[in-house]
A and B are shown apart, each in its own frame.
Chain A
């Protein structure tokens, strides 16, 4: 029979073996981040979405290869593909940005907190204990990692399928100068970074939406609808005063990266815009989540 008496259980007695008396145990704040990345990229759903995104450049390249000769119409850079396979990646990103990418980002970002809440795992993470601030930072980081993986994947698959189906070589940029393949590869990575940056604001919105509910689908839908709404508003000339503040306003503004020398203006202004959304919706998510009773 156990007794509260310290003498019977000296090794476990909290009075003599107090964590406060010894130096605070070593903190490993990044352990959960590693676990989160593993969680995101071990899910079948993540792979399904990445697979769907990887199909975009493949479909474009195959379609263009099968129907050469007609240069008119289609998304930006489409006509250039036949001249140079390296443009497949650019075209695929341009096609993915309005819908496919926000859709998948919305799913991941909307799932962040609400997904944990719907499984009930959130309470076990919090009593582990994961601080609430660390929790939402880690979940946000997981969503951003997905954005980066998704855009890099489109670029890489695009470059690969382009190299297989079309000639590759020095690329003529929008400014008319030619750069070699390596310089182009560098720009492709910059492009992936630019698109990832573009998704930061939407991810923050998804994170906030996710703190409002324990039904992940609701948060996902809200995020995707907002992504669509922002783009629709961006099309209305009557609202042009609003356009610079829409998080989707500079999603397609990566043309500057294809000039020589690279113009970083749009990169910078997009960064400011996205950062603004991250700050506002991050703060909303923070204030909502840190004061919330976790009842699920």
Chain B
């Protein structure tokens, strides 16, 4: 085909109607001229003869148009027009199908995008599969052990290793390209704006090369930076450089002051760099310092504070690496002389980062997959019904000479148009949902803010839905294409579809009901958990309390006494502020972490080593937090450094360790020199939050500062009014004592509790929405099938009524059919829920996953809703006018 020929074809396409008119005129002239000539020859019926000799002008016109080579396209466009007309004529079908698809696809792609970004997409480092983290496993954990990760109880493991262990592993591990260690902690930043507490990491020099990161400006650490004589240097995050230094071009000539110590800036990291330590955290790491440990740490095997990462050599399996680590570990065990077994494990870094959220995200993913299944089921059902309802039309088209290809293509096109529209609407819905999801998601989900719509996800689910549509749209069309049109045309009756198809429809409806039943049970269990949790009594009075952290840097507050002094002065200064009822300081306030320890308890018959929470508290602590004295006395101002060492325990401590023994007067000690006498018993609290168990508590006097190794850091006030109003007044008092001292994590107890619940709220809300959508779709399914079946059976109902059947009987007939579908669906769904809620178990709070009442309530709800959906077709069936109905035949 030459270019010019192509041009002529395109010209034709642009002026199609003109061409057709011209051709018609030409042919008209031809026939007229022929007729005139025939008349001249006296042919009888000249005009008719001329026309007969000319042939069928319509066919000729079509053939002429066909010469331009656009025929196939025109037929396609024709089919498309027909398809849109057909869809417009059945708005109910179109809307339901499109909305169902859009909901299913939108929800699924939004949720999957989150899961994918958080868990499936690799870590933002080159070759992330070879990155591992080191774990310490306590083989014989002390009683009451609390690991830092699993907040309560949980596996006795820690992600912290000691400095000598790290050095040994780094020296001995030949299966690793390198090992790196880091610690993450906040420092007080001064000299740039107001003093602020900023998080940063101290890393070994190989840290950045291990992660495959390089500096955007300047350089990363070299091994010289770690040498003893080297001046302190820092690498800044891109955010630090931009926000705190205003993108200063001369950043590499500046220094920053952290805890009073200046650090020379040697590099700035690229904007997208995220260290593993900050990924699951709210505060990002803004600077990196060299040397995470001191030389003095290298002798202490028991002090574990380093997080250790490693990069495996290519081709090295985790098992081989573990074997090597075990060998080195066995040697270490000898040095440390520890009596409790400690085993170092390596695990993929990815596993660690998502462990908090993995469970709940997988549950949500499962739920959204169920939604897609329901969606597909519903669309299949709708198309099936539609195809059967159009059996007659298909027959007519065949009778008029349509090719099988055209008819099948027609159905195919309708399925595709529905699928396409549904996908487009679903895509925009998914985008909105995703934004909503990110907005309401708890901050603890790592990388949540970098989540964007994942195209692959959307394409896959859209393809799935389309395929379903095609399959179920085509099967009936194909079948119809093989029926003889004559048979179908002879009867005006609505064809019933064969029993096979009826079975399919029922099966699909039952499946929809069953799937939504499972989601409903899941949602019910979560709601119940949430209600339970919200109603938990903390044991103290969280209202009207504002807590904050005042982390005093070592540089200016080297000793416990100095820190105590600072807090005592702050207490003095704030105690009499207007609106303040009481003030308190401690190492940590409830809900804000704490100290787990172990003490030796002296009982009349023996001495036992017991694990317990330990808190160093000021005398005002109990009144401020709202803890009640049950026996003995509280810690008072008099319990100073010169006096007898005292402790207060909670009921749980007394119950667990001092059964049938009067706790007052008992002694506990960390070391023999300073035994503490128990002087009082207070009530139990859930220190770590509503979903935390009650734990044993040991309170010591903060003033007896030689007793405890933890640092005083938290300050709290109880007020008569809104405690947040006093925030700046307290800040001012802190600065009056030390102008370089920042106050951080200022939050009311109520805020902390709300934040704690928000994660559960997120999961619960999502599952409830999912369940709602699922039930909605399933109800549409039930309604559709019944409505269709009623319209099929209209003549039958007519006859029944004509023969004297009661309308209520017809009503019951339809309901029986509905009942069978619903009951089957509910039963299967309950069985499914019984199995599937296993994946929900970790998200439940004090609700067994087979909670009977939840199952009953969910089943009743679903049955009631679907029965309501059945009422409309039932009424329609019962109100059939026998005369009209019989006229159908």
Q: State whether these chains interact.
A: no
**Interface of B toward A, CB cutoff 8 Å:** none
**Interface of A toward B, CB cutoff 8 Å:** none
